[in-house]
Amino acid sequence: MKVTYTKLNKGTSLIETMMVLSIIAIICHLAIFNYQPLLVENRLDNHIAKINRAVGLSRLNAVSYGSNVTLCALKNNKCIASHWHQQLTVFKDSNKVGVFDDDDVALLYIDAVHQQDKLTYPRAFITFRNDGTPMGFHNGTFVYCPEHEKASHEGLAISISYTGRTKIKNTSRCLE
């Protein structure tokens, strides 16, 4: 009786392994290339939602407390128009409007925007009166531009009306 041995293929060759890895690398490269704009969009949506909530909270607290409530970026306890990209503060504004002094109470803090992004507003602060309307000419539009130096993405804007209501919309101001 003659015994024959057959060679069983129990693994993959080096070439097969290298081909599979190269295909996976190409797919990962395409996925990562498309993932970056998704991260920018997510960051944009999240921060604009925080600002919208802060504006709504400011308006609601002004009506609830029956006093002025201010939203602004503080530097040396004063609201500064050029610092909207820094940490924002919502506070019950008892004395001088736009100044955070000893009698005022902080209600909310919002983190600074991402270092590549830009947030602007035409005034130094927004103060809501006890009827929920912005004081004086404090209405305006927040514009949030992601990666503003590249000007590669559309931004979002929050418009605040004379009645204190907000509306979020897309803006192409960031592409200029």
The amino acid occupying position 16 is E
Per-residue model confidence (pLDDT) at position 1 = 63
Q: What's the pTM?
A: 0.77
pLDDT digit string (tens) for 22-44? 999 998 888 777 777 788 888 88
Q: Mind listing the domains of the chain with CATH numbers?
A: 14-175 (3.55.40.10)
Higher per-residue pLDDT: 148 or 110? 110
Tokens (6 digits) for 127: 């103060």
Residue 15 predicted with pLDDT over 80: yes
Cβ-contact 144, 119 below 8 angstroms: yes
pLDDT digit string (tens) for 115-158? 888 999 999 999 999 998 998 776 789 999 888 777 778 889 99
The amino acid occupying position 176 is E
pLDDT digit string (tens) for 81-104? 999 999 999 999 988 888 999 889
C-alpha to C-alpha distance for 116 and 133, rounded to whole angstroms: 32
Per-residue model confidence (pLDDT) at position 7 = 64
Confidence of residue 57 (pLDDT cuts 50, 70, 90): very high
Name beta bridge partners: 155. 171
C-alpha to C-alpha distance for 7 and 37, rounded to whole angstroms: 51
Per-residue model confidence (pLDDT) at position 12 = 76
